[in-house]
Chains A and B, each alone.
Chain A
Amino acid sequence: MLVAAGIDCGTGFTKALVVGRSGPEAPLRVLGKGRVRSGVQVDEAAQSALEIALGQAGLDREAVDYIACTGFGRYNVSFRDVAITEITAAARGAFTIRNQGGPVLDIGSQCTRAIAVTSAGKVQAFKSNDKCAAGSGTFIARAAKYLGITVEEVGELSLGARNPQPISSICAVLAESEIINHVSAGVSVEDILRGIHQSLADRAGAMLRKVRSESPVLFIGGVAKQRGMTEELRRRLGVEVEVPHDCDFVCALGAAVLALRRLAARN
């Protein structure tokens, strides 16, 4: 069996996935996965995540024939065979899950991306958000902190909104002052959170329109776990939105699949 690993070194978490295939026509099997906080030592985090995945798979380090790294820390992993961008990886991961192309929306802690994937699993077009932080997970995390709740609570609380208060500013600083105004005006936490999700959804929608890809949208990345956000995307974009199981492992999966392909090509 050919065994390969994909490691996604994100800004928040490092995710490793070990996959295998017993022959060229055989189905892809996910053997194990690991997830650790990235911290400052990217190499160590990658090592730990991989060890967890190997433990699940019941394999030794030597059993892995090829390692592809992706994410912002991809070049810091000393034991990698190849580095691939998270956009290429996300496209391939999404393609592997869906077995077809189409639009992918990836909202992580630092970055939001819209990717159009071809029917061959390649990147056709993509848009990243401006370096401004107002459009990604960190912004939600900061808002949550200000509102005195945990990030994990955001998704459910947002669902309970009755009268969402929109955030109209594009800039994170202005958006935060808007949130503060809402709080002082007595707006409920639920309504504020839903308003944040609305503004994020609008922005994501604009990016998706720029890459011009047909629905349904595969929504991945850490923020995809927030149900309020998914709900808002569906409502405001008027498209079907699918959130895969393990939505934050999609890039690691894509990297692992590409690693396996390189390995097959080499053999």
Chain B
Amino acid sequence: MSVQATEYRGSIHQQQKELMLQWYAALDRAAGNAAEQPVVSMMVSGNCVELLEGFGAVPLYPEVNALQLAIRHQSLDPILLAEELGYAADNCAYVKADIGAYLKGITPAGGRLPKPTLVLCNFVGCNTYLKWFEHTADLTGAPLYVLDVPFLRSEEPGEADIAYVVRQLKEVVARLESLTGRKFDYDRFQQATAYSAESEGLWSGIKHLAQRSPSPFDAYFDAITLMGPLYVYRARSEGVQFFRDALRELEQKPVSAEDEKFRLVVEGPPPYPYFRAFRDMFARWKACAVASTYSTVGGLWEFGFRHDPEKPFESVARHMLAQNVTNRNYLQRYEQIGHYLRAWDADGLIIHFVKSCRLFSAGQGDMREYFSRMGVPTLYIESDLEDPRYFSEAQTRNRLDAFFESLEHMKRTGARRMPLAAPQPSPLRVL
């Protein structure tokens, strides 16, 4: 059985690689000339990269650095160093890898990483981020601004929430003006939201390709490859161009019915230290993720949200408050998954518990219970997104094999599409 068969490598993968190298090169240049090139470190989730465009600032994403280390099997040493400094075995390993790597001088692409002009903690739902950025600011001596994004406690963000975030965004602008000595370029900001809206539309188009059967796109593994450009470049013309090419290429990609045996929804981040091995466990069964929650960490664009050049500040605020999976509440995530199962026509759900990230994982047992009761074949597996010590390859493969075998059996016996029970009544409607 060919493992490579379901993994598609087209020109967009090359383009993606070049864009990311270009980004690291920009960071490396910034490290050499801080005055010329402002850099703002941010959290991927609900990032406001559009605002940075108003200063021509480059975003620095510690998570992306951490996951790159893990994929390259370089995460364990920095993690161990951080543990020697007092971080706990049960602290988020992204943070440990990032801090350990900083102290060891390891960077994902080998170039330099700059000291940020501003450490902007766009805390969206992840309390661990508050700590991470407090520590980063303390360690690097860079100034810190915590952009307090109220957690989404109702269906839509309230007026007070939006006003609060907009006021803070304007404080960030003032802060960056004084830190960089540059005037905020409102027109460029507005243009950035227009580019974002375009990129987001194209990205949404790509996500919807997975509604086809067979799907030309894996919305977990392939989506992760495309997520870098989405976070770094969506608010720029390069991003729009990239996603235009990507959509076209994937639309035209030939796929045959034999290439897809199972359609899945995947919840949770991947085990980056075993990314390749994990992917192969799906590939050997011709299992395609048609939707994933992890790919909506940056934004929920497949459900229609776009940045709005007419109301740039407000739309950035709305994106941070309500249009990314991490700042939405847990039941809204159930609804998101339920919607995927129906509208993307999936056979089952895989829940990947990662010990590092309690935002994702705390309560996933309840999630399993909810979906199993609805009649959705659901598999729950545990490992980690960064720490290689918590992944048992044989065990994970056995569990996935058993799951796929039972899906196969269900298909053969005609029990394949169990009618999806209506979700339990909930006061929260998402989509």
A: which residues have CB within 8 A of B?
Answer: 130, 168-170, 174, 177-178, 181, 206, 209-210
CB within 8 Å for A170 and B83 given contacts A130-B89, A177-B395:
no
Question: In the complex, which residues of chain A have a beta carbon less than 8 angstroms from the beta carbon of B394?
Answer: 177-178, 181
- State whether B84 touches A169 (Cβ < 8 A): no
B: which residues have CB within 8 A of A?
Answer: 80, 83-84, 89, 388-390, 392, 394-395
- State whether B392 touches A177 (Cβ < 8 A): yes
- State whether A168 touches B80 (Cβ < 8 A): no
Question: Can you give 21 A-B contacts (C-beta < 8 A)?
Answer: A130-B89, A168-B388, A168-B389, A169-B389, A169-B392, A170-B89, A170-B389, A170-B390, A174-B392, A174-B395, A177-B392, A177-B394, A177-B395, A178-B392, A178-B394, A181-B394, A206-B80, A206-B83, A206-B84, A209-B84, A210-B83
How distant is B385 from chain A, measured CB to nearest CB, in Å? Answer: 16
CA distance A177 to B80 in the complex (A): 24
Question: In the complex, which residues of chain A have a beta carbon less than 8 angstroms from the beta carbon of B395?
Answer: 174, 177
Question: In the complex, which residues of chain A have a beta carbon less than 8 angstroms from the beta carbon of B84?
Answer: 206, 209-210
The dominant DSSP class at the A interface is helix
CA distance A177 to B392 in the complex (A): 9
Question: In the complex, which residues of chain B have a beta carbon less than 8 angstroms from the beta carbon of A178?
Answer: 392, 394
CA distance A64 to B219 in the complex (A): 76
Closest residue on chain B to residue A210 by CB atoms: B84
Closest residue on chain A to residue B86 by CB atoms: A210
Question: In the complex, which residues of chain B have a beta carbon less than 8 angstroms from the beta carbon of A181?
Answer: 394
CA distance A209 to B86 in the complex (A): 11
Question: In the complex, which residues of chain B have a beta carbon less than 8 angstroms from the beta carbon of A209?
Answer: 84
Closest residue on chain B to residue A170 by CB atoms: B389
How distant is A150 from chain B, measured CB to nearest CB, in Å? Answer: 28
CA distance A206 to B85 in the complex (A): 11
Question: In the complex, which residues of chain A have a beta carbon less than 8 angstroms from the beta carbon of B80?
Answer: 206
Question: In the complex, which residues of chain A have a beta carbon less than 8 angstroms from the beta carbon of B89?
Answer: 130, 170
How distant is A200 from chain B, measured CB to nearest CB, in Å? Answer: 14
Closest residue on chain B to residue A175 by CB atoms: B392
CA distance A178 to B84 in the complex (A): 26
Closest residue on chain A to residue B394 by CB atoms: A181
How distant is A233 from chain B, measured CB to nearest CB, in Å? Answer: 16
How distant is A175 from chain B, measured CB to nearest CB, in Å? Answer: 9
How distant is A165 from chain B, measured CB to nearest CB, in Å? Answer: 13
Question: In the complex, which residues of chain B have a beta carbon less than 8 angstroms from the beta carbon of A130?
Answer: 89
How distant is B172 from chain A, measured CB to nearest CB, in Å? Answer: 39
CA distance A170 to B389 in the complex (A): 6
Question: In the complex, which residues of chain B have a beta carbon less than 8 angstroms from the beta carbon of A168?
Answer: 388-389
Closest residue on chain A to residue B398 by CB atoms: A177
Residue of B83, B84, B388, B389 ringed by the most chain A CB atoms within 10 A: B84
CA distance A178 to B389 in the complex (A): 12
Question: In the complex, which residues of chain B have a beta carbon less than 8 angstroms from the beta carbon of A206?
Answer: 80, 83-84
How distant is B364 from chain A, measured CB to nearest CB, in Å? Answer: 19
CA distance A177 to B395 in the complex (A): 8
CA distance A177 to B393 in the complex (A): 11
Closest 7 CB pairs of A and B: A209-B84, A170-B389, A174-B392, A181-B394, A210-B84, A206-B80, A168-B389
CA distance A168 to B277 in the complex (A): 16
CA distance A168 to B388 in the complex (A): 8
Closest residue on chain A to residue B389 by CB atoms: A170
Closest residue on chain B to residue A132 by CB atoms: B89
CA distance A168 to B390 in the complex (A): 8
How distant is A243 from chain B, measured CB to nearest CB, in Å? Answer: 25
How distant is A187 from chain B, measured CB to nearest CB, in Å? Answer: 13
Question: In the complex, which residues of chain A have a beta carbon less than 8 angstroms from the beta carbon of B83?
Answer: 206, 210
Residue of A168, A177, A210 ringed by the most chain B CB atoms within 10 A: A168
CA distance A170 to B89 in the complex (A): 10
CA distance A169 to B389 in the complex (A): 5
How distant is B89 from chain A, measured CB to nearest CB, in Å? Answer: 7
CA distance A153 to B25 in the complex (A): 56
Closest residue on chain B to residue A171 by CB atoms: B390
How distant is B19 from chain A, measured CB to nearest CB, in Å? Answer: 34
Closest residue on chain A to residue B390 by CB atoms: A170
CA distance A142 to B68 in the complex (A): 38
How distant is A20 from chain B, measured CB to nearest CB, in Å? Answer: 42
CA distance A53 to B395 in the complex (A): 50
Closest residue on chain A to residue B90 by CB atoms: A130
Question: In the complex, which residues of chain A have a beta carbon less than 8 angstroms from the beta carbon of B388?
Answer: 168
How distant is B326 from chain A, measured CB to nearest CB, in Å? Answer: 27
CA distance A259 to B84 in the complex (A): 35
CA distance A181 to B396 in the complex (A): 13
CA distance A181 to B89 in the complex (A): 26
How distant is A30 from chain B, measured CB to nearest CB, in Å? Answer: 37
